[in-house]
Amino acid sequence: MGKRSATSGLANYLSEAPFDHSLNLTPNGYINFHWANWKPSCDFVKKQVKADSETHKQKLVALSRELEKLKKKTIWLKNKRKTLKSSMYDLYESYLDPRIRMTWFDREDEILVSTHNESGPYITLSSMRWMEKDTFASFVRRKLITDFVPQRSFRVGLDIPVSVSFDNSPLTKTTFHLNQASESGLVIKVSSLSDITKALNSQVMYVSMNLQPFHQNLDTGFHEIIKAFSEVDFEDREIQEKEANFTLNSSVLRDYGNYDNIKASDGKSFYIFVKYEDLIGLNPEGEVKDIFNSFVGKVEKQLQKEMKKVA
């Protein structure tokens, strides 16, 4: 999510890093944290802005200025009756408004959008091909700071490769990435339109992931976890031979809002939420939910300690 800040303490990250940066918890970037994925850090940033913290005000101004450049980006919206001239900025703002989104994106007579000129070419608004993930994330972050937005449960950022094949065919072997972990499940990133198409057209996905670093640190503390993950190489072949194997029914791609997220992607990166219960173990080293819950809980507990010093 966004750019990565160098490994440093939570206080420095919340005070100095731009709002689109994540905090690397390990030098290799396997584990990271973004302030928008945790209610205490969101509340802290909002409080600093309201308290007229000069640093946070400047960061918010910088974020807003970047987004407001989109007001100069003209777009054209078209239906069967007329064509409306607008801006890319207004389009993102409209998508964030649930009332307008329902009116524009869920209507039977499809609205078209052109980002080039009034004569086209046009694409369907609901295809979401006009949206850039990082730009949309910036709009969401600003809304988190300046408005009321319901908070999600704590999430740890990850960048860990996992091997995937479809319908037990070795010829389809590819790589997905664990992107986030929470108490309830994993967000998996797919960086290929071809791969997400294969997944949608398959019956079962076979997932292999290295759980050793997670499993070996079930009974250790946060700092031991960070040390272990800083030293591991998930690309190492010897490690890959010890991967735990799971099956994942491809129907999950149409559950939990995943299909809507796939349709709303930028066509380059796709994000799938998977509950731990969806991963059926063939030879795991332990219950995958217990392993990740322990990991997520220890990271959150450590950040809570650091948050007390910040607040």
Written in H, E and C, the secondary structure of 220-231 is: CCHHHHHHHHHH
Residues 87 and 123 occupy one common structural domain: yes
C-alpha separations of 258 from 1, 81, 117 in Å? 18, 33, 32
Indicate if 138 and 168 belong to the same structural domain: no
Q: Which pLDDT score, from 0 to 100, does residue 302 have? A: 95
Max CA distance (Å), the chain:
65
Q: What is the pLDDT of residues 191-243, one digit of tens each?
A: 999 999 999 999 999 999 988 889 888 889 999 999 999 999 888 766 555 67
Vertex 67: Cα angle to 64 and 72 (nearest 5)? 125
pLDDT number for residue 39: 93
CA-wise closest residue to 278 among 169, 161, 185, 199: 185
pLDDT of residue 113: 92
- Structural domain that includes position 189: 156-310
207 vs 173: CA distance, rounded Å: 10
**Which of 168, 142, 148, 161 lies closest to 35 in space, CA to CA?**
142
Which CATH number does the domain housing residue 271 bear? Answer: 2.40.10
Tell me the CA distances in angstroms from 160 to 78, 107, 284, one per residue in order.
Answer: 42, 39, 17
Which pLDDT score, from 0 to 100, does residue 283 have?
Answer: 58
Per-residue pLDDT at 81 = 84
Q: 246 with 115, same domain?
A: no
Predicted pLDDT at 107 = 64
Q: What is the pTM of this model?
A: 0.86
Choosing from 143, 167, 183, the residue where a domain stops is 143
Residues 301 and 170 both lie in one domain: yes
Structural domain tally of the chain? Answer: 2
Q: Please report whether residue 38 resides in a domain.
A: no
Task: Specify the pLDDT at position 169.
Answer: 85
**Judgement on whether residues 211 and 134 belong to the same structural domain of the protein:** no
Residue 1 is predicted with a pLDDT of: 47
Contact 172, 198 (CB under 8 A): yes
Same-domain status, 166 and 305: yes
Map residue 290 onto helix, strand or coil. Answer: helix
Distance (Å, whole) CA 1 – CA 158: 10
What lies within 8 Å, CB to CB, of 118 at 6+ separation is 76, 83, 85
Beta carbons of 294 and 219 less than 8 angstroms apart: no
Tell me the C-alpha distance between 280 and 272, whole Å. 17
Judgement on whether residues 160 and 230 belong to the same structural domain of the protein = yes
Residues in the chain, total = 311
Q: Does the residue 26 lie in any domain?
A: no
**Residue numbers of the chain with a pLDDT score lower than 50:** 1
